[in-house]
Structure 1
Amino acid sequence: MTEKNTMQTVHMIVSGKVQGVGFRAYTLKFAQQFNLSGWVKNLPTSEVEITVSGSSENIQQFITIIQNSPSPFSIVTDTKIDYIPYKDFLNFKIQY
């Protein structure tokens, strides 16, 4: 495997105007587009939490989209990103 195709898992906390604006639905759309697995959910702090697994190349593209506000109504002001041990999920889903 080349370095860019290494499988990895990323945990993200996204801040800004990210609840009530379709952010989770757009996150799901882009995760599926990049063949990523994991989940997204709203936090009581008005932030959104994302855990996503897949190829490092696809995850980097996904992170770029998230940092640039994937929903036309969202405004991302901060993204905390932690690379955690790889975990294989069955699919990508919205948690409630």
Structure 2
Amino acid sequence: MKRVQGIVHGKVQGVGFRHFTKVTAAEHDIKGWVRNLSDGTVEFEAEGPESSIRRFIEDIKKGQRPAKVESVETNDIQPLKSETRFRQRKTR
């Protein structure tokens, strides 16, 4: 089991990117959360099998229209193993 924390840069707020991330997580059986940050980026934490995490991040980097992902920074963090779903959180 692997867990990553990520920050997505680009035109990713006000374009349905959090919903896209939630749907993409469900497609890859990923648990965790996503939220907007006050600086215009989107933050996520994602947990699942390493191969699923890798494919999830590849899809996040591609984004969806009208979003425009410029970059995605990720860091490995300690798995929680208590997540039951992927959800949207309030802006921080």
Confirm or deny a common fold (TM above 0.5).
yes
Unpaired runs of 5+ residues, structure 1, are: 1-6
Question: Which ranges of 4 or more aligned residues in structure 1 deviate by more than 3 Å?
Answer: none
Unpaired runs of 5+ residues, structure 2, are: none
C-alpha deviation, 1:85, in angstroms: 1.0
Partner AA of 2:43 in structure 1: E
Secondary structure of the structure 2 residue equivalent to 1:63: helix
In structure 2, the partner of 1:39 is 33
Distance 1:26 1:67 in 2: 12
2:58 to 32, 55, 64: 64
Q: Number of aligned pairs?
A: 89
In structure 2, the partner of 1:4 is none
Per the normalisation by structure 1, the TM-score is 0.90
Secondary structure of the structure 2 residue equivalent to 1:77: strand
Per the normalisation by structure 2, the TM-score is 0.93
In structure 1, the partner of 2:11 is 17
Identical-residue share of aligned pairs (%): 34
Distance 2:17 2:80 in 1: 23
Distance 1:84 1:92 in 2: 17
1:75 aligns with 2:68: yes
Which of the pair has more CA radius of gyration?
Answer: 1
